[in-house]
Structures are given as structure tokens and as C-alpha cells.
Amino acid sequence: MTGSDRRVSAALVVALVAGVVAFAWPLFLRPESGISAAQAPILFALVLPLVLAIVLSELAGGRMDVKALAMLGVLAAVGTILRPLSAGTAGFELIFFLMILAGRVFGAGFGFALGAITLFTSALITSGVGPWLPYQMLTAGFVGLFAGWLPKATGRAELLILATYGMVSAFTYGWLMDFSFWPFAIGDGTQLSFDPSASPWENLHRFVLFNLATSMGWNLGRALTNAVLVFLLGAPLLRLFRRTARQAAFVPLGSTAPLAE
Amino acid sequence: MAPEGTTTLTTLHPWAWWCWAIGIGIAVSGTTNPLLLALIATAMVVVVMLRRSSAPWARSVKAYLLLSLFVIGMRVFFQVLIGSGSGDTVLFALPEIPLPEWAAGIRLGGPVTAEGLVRTLYDALRLAVMLLCIGAANALANPRRALRSVPAALYEASVAVVVALSVAPQLIESAQRVRRARRLRGEPAKGLGMLSTVAMPVLGDAIERSISLAAGMESRGFARTRGLPIRGALPLMLVSVLCSVLGLFLLLSSTWWLLASSLLVAGLLGTAWGFHRAGRALRVTAHRPDSWGWRETLVGVSGIGAAVLVLALGWLDPSGGALHPSTDPLQWPDLTVAMLVVTALTLAPLLLTRARALQTVASVRHDTRVRSLRPQVQQELASR
């Protein structure tokens, strides 16, 4: 472990803390604070880009050599093309399995950067920039990040782990995004609306009902897509990524390149 | 030193547009007055229509309008279906459907009141206009130029984004090539099997491309990342951003808004200073950078001014007043002078910039001067 390794994890820990606060805001927003439920996600959308900027400048600027940077750009381009293809068809999201596999092979930091940059670039191309974008970038980054922290395994067991993780992360992604924008999407004054004066448990109960009614199909579709794609393309893609990693020796600066496995 | 960039009246720094749009968006978030919202929305659309370029992203405002309508429709749908039925003016009643035990407290259908519906419409309209503000910034600011003006510390990350944006069209071409080759070999191009047989060659191609791209970038001096140049500024940035997150948490969850907002502002300033320090360590230069002049400052200030004005009005009159017209009992919303000022601030960029000159294209087919003559010619032909 070099000094820069520890610092990356410090930046990622800060991102995790900021992410938890940003996604859990409906649980701690109090009515007496004077901030309305429509303003809260906007406020976070102004602070989260700073968090993302720090983590990305640290990951891309300090930890990656030029080969990793080019690989990051090209894989983000693949995701950028896949995203509009999959939009609008019941949760058929094609981008996550790529982040999961790349995060698995190239490491957690690369996975985070790939997730965040893929979402950013595809938002630029489809002009989907909005207050939801920092949230999406952060969540997709976490999908790639945790993929890099999965336990060691080979062969079928590895595919099984990755597919399971694909399903779990698909649901988590959907729930987190829905939860942070739920008060925003449905508005107030309905029985399933966010109510700042109600207790966190009451709000959570309302959210679960709202989410079951509106987003279950999407989340399930996304989870199945991830699992199927990992089983279909996982083995050859992992092989391809690992071969490239060996060729280009994606190693932290200052340490020696590993020999072929 | 004289600024290197050339300034024209037609192009504004992309971040000035973003600053203006975000400021107006914050102003919009502080009101539910439908008259003010309608005025701001109209002003926004006018500015976009008169000042946008002919680039592809300039057409994005339509997508945001559709999204806004979808948001309004969805909220009204939920209000009608599971509204809490506050107010007395019952417009109509849907048959009630009781839900099972685990969904206790929820009923579908029931009476739909004018008060509940108007309240939902006001709130949905606010959200729709906020989306429109973001759409306006998307349409007016050139994303590639905005990317070029990011802080130097983000240089490497922006290189990755630029690589992604330029490689994406090549990948589509690569996918078409693989499919064409498959068709020439007479292989069926259907089903899930096709997914893997097309996807793998395309991905392999992409990864080979990244290796050769890396070699090209290395020979052009991109491989200057030895160690971590932003190391000195990193603790400052991390502590500051944590500070601003804590400030935001306190702002939402407590009444200590003074402590919370000073933490938030201190955190933001600290982060900005950290980025400045990190950027100085990097010594990245830009080719013909976009200049930030007095017009950019004024456009930015007009957006921020609108936000400050609306937030100050809301702070002076916490009961709501003209910014939040009452929906129970129903009341016709008022329009005050301050609201006209907000609308004027939304329109301010019109005075500070000039419309783009129509582009002359080499092909006659797209030449606007020729095209404007076309109806005349057709008339003459028809009358002959």
C-alpha cells in the first residue's frame, strides 16, 4: 500500500458518507427547518458535484496511468451507446453489467470512475442533465465500486457471485434513486406522499407501498437484465478484460507489474 | 496579459448560462404562484428561442417540456387516485376500493376536491418550470465548451469524458461493420445469440482501440501523472466538502439555520479554494480558453439576483403571501412588482447578448437566403 492508495480510500469514504446523507434526506427532513421537500434534492444536487469532482480528480488524476484513462474513456463510450438503446423498455438497462465486470477486473476505483463517467457522458449526449444526474452518477459509481470489493472466486462461482451482485445492485440502485426523488416525483397531498412531519418509519412504510406500486417492474427488469447479461457475456468479457489488464499492466504507480496468472 | 480568446456578442461563456439557469431554478423553487411561474416559463422559452444555436443540443428543450408535462400528468393522476381529499369543494367522486391490511390507511378512489387538485397543480407546475430551467441551460450552453472550462484538477477526468464522447460514434460504426460482415457470411442476425456474437467483437475492437489510443496519448504527453499532484490540496478539499454536507444535513433537520448555512458556505468556499490550489499544481493550459467578461458576470448575477429576491421575499413573509397563494380556501393568485422584477431578470440575457447570425452553409439546399425565396418561386411557378 502506498500513500496514494490510502488517500483514494479516504476520498471514497467521503463519497460514501455524502451519499448516505444525500439519499436518506427524506428520513431526517423536519418541517420546522423551513426547507420544502422540492428544494432538498436541489440543494444536494449543488453539493454532490463537488464530492464527485474531488473523487474523480483524485481517481483519474492521481491513480490512473494513460492506459487506464483511455480504457476508462472507451468503456464509458460503450456504456454511452448502450444507454439510449435501453431507455424506455421496462428496466432493460444494459449499462450496469459493464461497470460490474470492469470494476471486478480493474478494481474498485476504476469501477467507481466508470460508473460516474458513463452516466455523465450519456447525459451529455441525450441531454439528460438535471438535478438527478449527480445522484445517478454517485449510485452508478457505487455499483462499480462494490463490484471491485467482491470476494475472490473463479469460474462458475465467480459468474454466480457477479450475477447475484448484479441483481442486488439493480434493486439497490432503483430503491436509492426512487427514495431520494420520491417526494419530488409524487408531490404532497396524497396518501402515499412524503410527509415531513411524520416519523421516519411512517415515511418508509409509505415509500415501500409507493415503490411496490410504481417501480417494482422496472427494478425487476433491471435485475434480470443484469443477471442474464453476466451469464451470457460474463465469461468472455472477463477473459478479454483480464488479457488487456495483463497486456497493459494496469497497476498502481510505484509497484511492479504482476506476472501472467 | 491580453486575453487570448476572441469574444463575440453571440457566444456567452457556457457556465454563465448555467449560473443564470440555476439561479432562476432556485428562484422558482421558492414559489408556487402560478402567474409568476407562467411568466418565468414564458420568459425562459423566449430566451431559449432567440438565443439558441443550431447545434443538436439546442433542440433538447422540447424533451424537457415533454418531461415537465409528464410530471404534471403523473402528479395529477396520483392526486385523483390516492389523494387525501382535503378541502370541501368536491368536483367528482371515484368509487372507493379498500386495500388489504398491510397497506393500512390507504384507499383508492374517493372524492376529488378542487382544493387538492389546485394544490397539486401549483406544486407540479413549480417542478415543471424548474425542469424547464435545466432544459434551457442544456439548450443554450455548449457542453463541450463547458467541459473545457472545468477546473484544472478535473483535467484527467474531462479527458476521459472527451475520449468517451469522441469514441462513441466510432463504436456505432464498428457495430455496423460487424453486423454487415455477419450478413455477408450468411449468419442469422436474430435473438440473444446475436447479442453475444455482435457484442464481443465490438467490445474487443473497442478495447484494442483503447490500447492504441493510450499509445497515441502517451506520445503526446498525456502520461504526466506521476504520483498525485493534487496531494497537498486533498485534505483541505475532503474536510471542506464534509463540512458542507454536514451543513446541509443541519439545514434540513434542525432550526439552526445560521450555523448550518455558515458551515455550508464555508465548506463550499474551502472546496473551491482547494480546487484552485490543486489546479495551480497541475499547470494545465487551454487552447483559446473561453473568456469570462462583464456580460458573463451580469448574466450570472441576473440569475442569482432572481434567486436572492425570491428567497428574501419568502423569508420576509413566512406565512406565504403572494409567493404561495392559498389553495384552501381557493383564491385568485396576486402578482406583485417584485415578481415582475424576477421576470425581467429572467429576460436579462436578451439585452446582454445578440442573436446568432444565420449560418451560411456551402450547400444551396440549406442556404436560408435561398430557402426564403422558395415559396415565391413556387408561387410564380403555380401562377404560370
Report pLDDT for A256: 47
In order of their start, the domains of chain A are: 37-248 (1.10.1760.20)
A260 has a pLDDT exceeding 50: no
B257 has a pLDDT exceeding 90: no
A55 has a pLDDT exceeding 80: yes
User: Closest approach of chain B CAs to the CA of A11, in angstroms?
Assistant: 7
B38-59 per-position pLDDT tens digit? 999 999 999 998 888 777 777 7
Mean of pLDDT values over B197-225: 78
Q: CA-CA distance, A28 to A111, in Å (whole number)?
A: 30
CB-based contacts of B297-302 (< 8 A; 24+ apart in sequence): B297/B16, B298/B348, B298/B352, B299/B12, B299/B16, B299/B17, B299/B19, B299/B20, B299/B348, B299/B349, B299/B352, B299/B353, B300/B15, B300/B16, B300/B19, B300/B20, B300/B23, B302/B20, B302/B23, B302/B345, B302/B346, B302/B348, B302/B349
Q: Report chain A residues whose CB lies below 8 A from the CB of B195.
A: 232-233
Least confident range from A62-76, B53-67, B300-314: namely B53-67
User: Closest approach of chain B CAs to the CA of A215, in angstroms?
Assistant: 14
Would you report the helix, strand and coil content of chain A in percent, each value rounded to 5? Answer: 75, 0, 25
Residue among B61, B173, B245 with most chain A CBs within 10 A, to mutate: B245
3-state class (DSSP) for residue A81:
helix
How much is the mean pLDDT over chain B?
79
Closest partner residue to B106 (CB to CB) among A46, A71, A209 is A209
pTM as predicted? 0.80
A103-123 per-position pLDDT tens digit? 999 888 899 999 999 999 888
**Which residues 67-106 of A have a C-beta within 8 angstroms of B?**
67, 69-78, 80-81
Asked if A51 lies within 8 A of B257 by C-beta distance, the reply is: no
Q: Tell me if chain A has a CB within 8 Å of the CB of B29.
A: yes
Asked if B210 lies within 8 A of A74 by C-beta distance, the reply is: yes
Q: CA-CA distance, B68 to B41, in Å (whole number)?
A: 11
Asked if B29 lies within 8 A of A38 by C-beta distance, the reply is: yes
B13 has a pLDDT exceeding 80: yes
A187-243 per-position pLDDT tens digit? 666 777 787 777 888 888 888 888 887 778 778 888 888 898 888 888 888 998 998
Q: Kindly report the backbone phi and psi dihedral angles of residue B300, in degrees, each rounded to the nearest multiple of 5, phi listed first.
A: -60, -45
| Band of residue B60 on the pLDDT scale cut at 50, 70, 90 | confident
Which H helix or E strand runs over B93? strand B90-98
- DSSP states along A15-77: HHHHHHHHHSHHHH--GGG---TTTHHHHHHHHHHHHHHHHHHHIIIII--HHHHHHHHHHHH
**Most confidently modeled of A87-91, A116-120, B316-320?**
A116-120
A253 has a pLDDT exceeding 80: no
Q: What ipTM does this complex have? A: 0.84
CA distances, A20 to each of B122, B206, B383 (Å): 31, 35, 72
